[in-house]
Amino acid sequence: MENISFNELKKIAKKWEMKENTSKIALLGDCATQYLCVAIRGMCVKKRINADIWEADYDQIYAQIFNSESEMYAINPDYVILFFSSEKLLEQYETTDNTKRNCFVSEAMGNIEQCWKRLSQVQGLKIIQFQFVEIDDKVYGNYGNKIKNSFLYCLKTIQYQILEKACQYNNVYLMDLNSIQSDIGRNLFFDEKIYYLTKSTISFTALPLVADRTTDILRALQGNVVKCVICDLDNTLWGGTVAEDGMSGIQIGELGTGRAFTDLQRWLKLLKERGILLAVCSKNDQNTVLKVFRENSDMILKENDFAVFVANYEDKAANIKYIQSVLNIGYDSMVFLDDSCFERNLVRTLIPDIMVPELPEDPALYLKYLKDLNLFESASSSEEDVERTEQYRRESKRKELQRQFASYQEYLKNLNMEVTNSSFDPFHFPRIAQLTQRSNQFNLRTIRYTEAEIKKISQNRDYITQYYELRDKFGDHGLTGIVILKKIDRDALFIDTFLMSCRVLKRGMEEYIMNHIIQIAKKNNCIKVIGEYIPTVKNGIVKNFYNDMGLRIHNKNQWIINVNEYKNKTTEIKEKAQ
Amino acid sequence: MYDMSEKDILMKLNLIFRDVFEDETIVVNEETVSDDIEAWDSLEHINLIIEIENAFAFKFSMEEVSTLKNVGEIVDVILKKSKQN
C-alpha cells in the first residue's frame, strides 16, 4: 500500500455508495472509533471491497452485544469488529483492588469470551478481534516481566491467551494491531494529545495502516486471496545475470550481498509450503537457468518448488498469460516480482488485474518491502495447502500429454479418470470450507461457509451433502467438487451449493456431478431438482450451465427439471470401483 | 523551519483549509472561526489540526488545541513554535 494520509482516506470515504449484496460491518470499541470508522470506509472504497460500516456509540461493546434488541442486531451485520483497547484495560487494572489483581487476567478473558459466545449464536457472523497492543505502566521497569500481577505481565498473558482461545472459535479472526505498533513504534502509533482530546487510541498516522490491515482480512474472508507468485530470476531471485556472470558468478549464498537473495528465496519457499504457488518467468535460455537450479548448491529454491517454469525470450505478458492458462486462476490472485521497471510497467499495462509490487532499487530491501505489503492474508488453511504445488506440477504434465492426442475426447479417455464421492465427513470439513471460500469461477451461488457451518449442515437432516475426489493416471486431484442439496416442498431438491475447483474444469466432472445429483434425487424420492445461478463478477462461465444440462427456466435465475425428464450426460469419468 | 511571516503562514494555512474542506473558494483570515465553514465539525477539527502539524512540522499542545478560538490564534502558535526552533 502506498502511504496514504487520513485526510485523503476521509475524502475517498465520501465517495462510498450502497451497492447490491453489500456486506455489513459493525464496529464496537471501548475507545473512540469515529476516525477508525471513516478510515475503514475509505479503505473499502479504495480497495473495492463492497461493505458498509456502522459504528456503535462510544464504549458500548457490552451494551450492544448483550441486548438482543440493540441497534447492532437490528442491522444484522456480517462482520463485527471488536476493539478492546489496552488503555481501557489499564484503566480497569488501576481500578481493580490490589488484592484482587490475581484474578485480573481470567476476568478480562472471561469478558471477551462471553462476547464471542454471544455473537457466535448469530449464524454466519464473523468476528474480527483487534489484538491488544503492548503498553506498560513501567512501575517495575524490566522486572515487571517477572511479576505475575504486574500490568505488563497480565497484558502479555492476555495477548497469549487470546491466541489460544481464538483457535477454538472458527468464526473469530485476529487483527494483529500490536504488530502495526511494532512496525512503526509507539511514538508514531499513539498520540497523547489526540487521546486526551478524543479518546482515540490510534494516531492519525497509524489509522490508515490499521484500516489497511483490517480490510486485508475482509478481502481474505471474501475469497480474494493471492494464490500465486510469479518470479523473474536475474536480480530478483539472485544477484547479477546468469548470462553474463555465469552459473557460479551470480550472488547467492550465506555471505555478502547474496544473502539478501537467499533470504528472499527462503521466504518464498515458506510461502510454497503453506500453499502459495510459485512460477518462474525469466528472459533467459531455459537450459542455462535450469542449470543454476540443478547445479548451484547455494540455491534454496529447486525446480520442483515451482508449479510452472517459463524461461524464453518472448514478452513477459504473453508468458504470464500462458502461466495463467496452465494454473487457471484469476489474474487478480497473482503477484509478479521483477527488478526491471520496464518489465513491471509492461505487465501492469497489459494485464491490469495482476498485482505488481514496485520493488525498491536495493535488493536488501526486497523482503521487508514485500512483507509490509501483507499480500498473503488468509482466512483458512487445510492439509491440501501443502500438496498444492505438486498438484499443479502434475497438471503441467497433463497439458503436455494432451498435445499428443488428435482429439480432446481421446485424451480424456486416456486419462483413466475416477471419482470417489461421499457425504461430508469431519476429516474433510476444513478443505470443504476452504473450497467454498476460495472458489470463484465454477461456483453457481458463491455462498461462503466456515468449518462450523459445514459441520452444522452435515448434521442437518434437511440437507444432503457430497464431496467429490478426482483421480487420474497421473495422480490425485484431491477434493475438487462440492454439492449441498436442500430438501424443500417434500418432493424437491434445491441445489444450495454446486462448485468445482478450477483445476478440473472441462473434463466431464460437471456432467458427472449433475448426473449424480439426479441419482441422489431419485434415491430420496424427489421428483424435482431446482438449481439457481447467482451472478458475480467472476462466475460468468456457469451462467448457462443449468441450461446446458437440460434444465428449463423456472423463476428469475432459477432452473428446474423433473428427474424423469433428465437425460444422463456423457462423461469419460467413472466411479471408482469399490 | 525557516522564518515565515504571518502573511506566508496564512497563505499556507489557506491551502490546507481548501484541501481539508475540498473547497477552492475558501479564503481564511485572522478572524475566521469554525462557524464560518459549514463542514468544520469536531471530526474535521482534529483532522485539520493534524494536517497543520504535518505541514508546518510541529505539534500543538493539548491546551492549545482545546482553546484555539480562531485562525489568528493558529498563526500565533505557529509563529511561537517556529521561533523556538
**Optimal mutation site among A4, A7, A9, A191, interface B, most CBs of chain B within 10 A:** A7
> Strand, helix or coil at A146?
helix
* Residues of chain A contacting residue B22, judged by C-beta atoms under 8 Å apart: 11
Are B19 and A7 inside 8 Å of each other by CB? yes
Asked if A500 contacts A466 with a C-beta cutoff of 8 angstroms, the reply is no
Identify which has the larger pLDDT, A506 or A155: A155
* Residues of chain A contacting residue B41, judged by C-beta atoms under 8 Å apart: none
pLDDT of residue A578: 65
> What share of chain A in percent tops pLDDT 70?
99
Give, to the nearest 10 degrees, the angle between helix A34-46 and helix A6-13.
70
Report how many Cβ contacts below 8 Å link chain A to chain B: 32
User: Cell numbers 454439492 correspond to what residue?
Assistant: A483
Q: What number of residues does chain A have?
A: 578
**Optimal mutation site among A3, A187, A197, A202, interface B, most CBs of chain B within 10 A:** A197
Nearest one of A62, A68, A61, A79 to A24, comparing CA atoms = A79
Number of Cβ within 10 Å of residue A116's Cβ equals: 19
A347-361, A403-417, B65-79: least confidently modelled range: A403-417
* Residues of chain B contacting residue A38, judged by C-beta atoms under 8 Å apart: 43
Q: Is 80 exceeded by the pLDDT of residue A403? A: no
Q: Is 60 exceeded by the pLDDT of residue A503? A: yes
For A513-557, write each residue's pLDDT tens digit.
999 999 999 999 999 999 999 999 889 999 999 999 999 999 889
The number of CA neighbours under 13 Å toward the Cβ of A370 is: 25
| Element of type H or E holding A283 | strand A277-283
Which sign, positive or negative, has the C-alpha torsion B43, B49, B50, B52?
positive
The number of CA neighbours under 13 Å toward the Cβ of A483 is: 25
Are A193 and B65 inside 8 Å of each other by CB? yes
Nearest to A11 among B22, B46, B61 (CB): B22
User: CA–CA separation, B2 vs A22, rounded Å?
Assistant: 50
What pTM was computed for the model?
Answer: 0.77
Nearest to A196 among B22, B60, B62 (CB): B62
Give mean pLDDT, residues A279-289: 94
Q: Give A399's pLDDT tier (boundaries 50, 70, 90).
A: confident
pLDDT of residue A1: 55
CA angle A108, A115, A154 (to 5 degrees): 15
Number of Cβ within 10 Å of residue A302's Cβ equals: 11
Shortest Cα–Cα distance, B53 to chain A (Å): 11
pLDDT of residue A328: 87
Which residue from B minimizes the CA distance to A8? Answer: B20
> What share of chain A in percent tops pLDDT 90?
84
For A329-367, write each residue's pLDDT tens digit.
999 999 999 999 999 999 999 999 999 999 999 999 999
pLDDT of residue B2: 60
User: CA–CA separation, B74 vs B31, rounded Å?
Assistant: 11
Q: Is 60 exceeded by the pLDDT of residue B1? A: no
Q: Is 80 exceeded by the pLDDT of residue A78? A: yes
Please enumerate residues of A whose Cβ is less than 8 A from a Cβ of B.
5-7, 10-11, 34-35, 38, 192-194, 196-198, 204
Q: Is 70 exceeded by the pLDDT of residue A263? A: yes
In angstroms, how far apart are the furthest CA atoms of chain A?
Answer: 83
- 3-class secondary structure for A10-24? HHHHCCCCCCCCCEE
* Residues of chain B contacting residue A198, judged by C-beta atoms under 8 Å apart: 46
Cα-Cα-Cα-Cα torsion B37, B40, B41, B43, nearest 10 degrees, comes to: 170
Asked if A128 contacts A77 with a C-beta cutoff of 8 angstroms, the reply is no
Are A34 and B47 inside 8 Å of each other by CB? no
pLDDT of residue A380: 81
For A2-22, write each residue's pLDDT tens digit.
689 999 999 999 999 999 889
User: CA–CA separation, A3 vs B50, rounded Å?
Assistant: 16
Shortest Cα–Cα distance, A18 to chain B (Å): 22
pLDDT of residue A529: 96
Which residue from A minimizes the CA distance to B52? Answer: A7
Nearest to B50 among A6, A11, A192 (CB): A6
For A33-72, write each residue's pLDDT tens digit.
999 999 999 999 999 999 999 999 999 999 999 999 999 9
User: Strands of A126-130's sheet, edge to edge?
Assistant: A51-55, A23-29, A79-83, A126-130, A172-175
Give mean pLDDT, residues A390-396: 81
Average pLDDT over all residues of chain A: 93
Asked if A508 contacts A572 with a C-beta cutoff of 8 angstroms, the reply is yes
For B29-71, write each residue's pLDDT tens digit.
999 999 999 999 988 999 999 999 999 999 999 999 989 989 9
Q: Cα(first)–Cα(last) distance of chain A, in Å? A: 53
Nearest to B20 among A7, A197, A204 (CB): A7
Are A7 and B60 inside 8 Å of each other by CB? no
Give mean pLDDT, residues A304-314: 93
Please enumerate residues of B whose Cβ is less than 8 A from a Cβ of A.
19-20, 22, 43, 46-47, 50-51, 54, 59-62, 65-66
